[in-house]
Amino acid sequence: MGTTSAQLVWRGSPGSGLRLEVGGREVEVAAAEPAFIHLSRPGRAMPTAPRSGPGAGRLAHARYSYLEGGRFLDARWPGGPGSVVLEDLAPATTYEVVARARGVPPFLACRFTTLRPPPGRLLARFATVSDVHIGEKHFGITGRIHDLGRPAYPVRALQAALDEAAAWGAGTVVVKGDLTRQATPAEVRDYATVLAGSPLAAHTMLGNHDSNLGVNVVGLLGSLGSHVELRPQALELPGLRLVLVNTMHADPHFHRGHLPAEEAEEVARLAASAGGPVWVAMHHPPELHPWPTCYPPGVPHDQSMALLGALSAANPSVLVTCGHRHRNRRYNYGDIVISEVGSTKDYPGCWAGYEVYEGGLVQVVRRTARPDVLAWTEATRRALNGQWGRWSPGRLDDRCFAITWPAP
């Protein structure tokens, strides 16, 4: 949901000839293939792409088979998942979406309300992705959800997210860590190759998965054209200072975040000297409670309090955004808005766009819509007996919101 746009995404469609009527306009949507799921039994070998039969000779990514009982879980409706972005909507306006298909009478599919933009002119657009995990080969707590497509799902999810963010109007992307599964040289190279093919100016941060096996990830990325700054770093966009804060611990076995006091003080100095609002990116979310309330753990509570306290004192206009938990959430520490944005490669499979206004900031989380990515991320919804699909997306206002900064 944006100020003048809205993305509609569906798990299945009622049939061919799907039409959506919104605000007096009608959109015809191409039918997509159903997202079948491949769930192997625990301990079973990873499946291979079909060499004969109807799936042979074509990209296998759009077709997953479901072994248990031979049922196709998402085939209650004949059309598969899909997405459409509606543009040129009125801000702060409620719309009804009426859907119909061949042989299916019109029905109210949903209602939505566009965001009210902050005051002033739109100055810039940029984007973030996180938790791309190049090298991952299956999903789910027991690794039972497999992908048969090529390139592998983390690669095509990142490619598509960057393409869609660029098409949306972002010129810059910040990658908020967990670039790889376990930071092998091949995974790091694959990440750098995807970035090199993107039109976006990319700024890379590291996550806990990017410190492993003794590989010099910073040096390797640097040699491949992706500079990583481990110290807090400021980037200037019109109307907003971006501050990138690496929270990865030097010890590869230490998966929670780490932010020493001198780096928190440096972040606060960068916020204080910005002369305007500040957007802070970290891989690990801050822990607001003395005991962990969510897995995986973020930056330890004492370090989080030191950072947030110093940021509050330094600047009244701050958004902190994080990755790591592969979920969408929004909460506050005093006046500081904190958002967590989900992974590119598992449900809901998303990227975040930011619109910088003279008087505020808009965050819009979009699901990556490329059909071979949407088919995969829909399949991962089934992880944890379906709980992943309920827990990870968050509410609409966790994902999409507008902030008006306090008057200077």
Chain residues that interact with Fe ion, rule: CB under 5 A? 131, 178, 207-208, 324
Shortest Cβ 283–Fe ion spacing (Å): 6
Q: Pick between residue 285 and residue 360 the one whose CB is nearest to Fe ion.
A: 285
Residue 393, judged by CB atoms within 10 A of its CB (0-12, 13-18, 19+), counts as buried
Shortest Cβ 128–Fe ion spacing (Å): 14
Q: Pick between residue 180 and residue 315 the one whose CB is nearest to Fe ion.
A: 180
Residue 345, judged by CB atoms within 10 A of its CB (0-12, 13-18, 19+), counts as buried
Shortest Cβ 299–Fe ion spacing (Å): 12
Instruction: Say how far apart CA 129 and CA 166 lie, in whole Å.
Output: 12
Percent composition of the chain: helix, strand, coil (DSSP 3-state, to 5) = 25, 30, 50
Give the N- to C-terminal CA distance of the chain in Å, as an integer: 28
Q: Pick between residue 3 and residue 303 the one whose CB is nearest to Fe ion.
A: 303
Q: Among residues 138, 137, 151, 150, which one has the least CA distance to residue 184?
A: 137
Shortest Cβ 213–Fe ion spacing (Å): 16
Q: Pick between residue 74 and residue 210 the one whose CB is nearest to Fe ion.
A: 210
HEC per residue, 272-299: HCCCCCEEEEECCCECCCCCCCCCCCCE
DSSP per residue, 323-343? -SSSS-EEEEETTEEEEE---
Q: Pick between residue 72 and residue 254 the one whose CB is nearest to Fe ion.
A: 254
Shortest Cβ 361–Fe ion spacing (Å): 24
Q: Pick between residue 178 and residue 266 the one whose CB is nearest to Fe ion.
A: 178
Shortest Cβ 176–Fe ion spacing (Å): 9
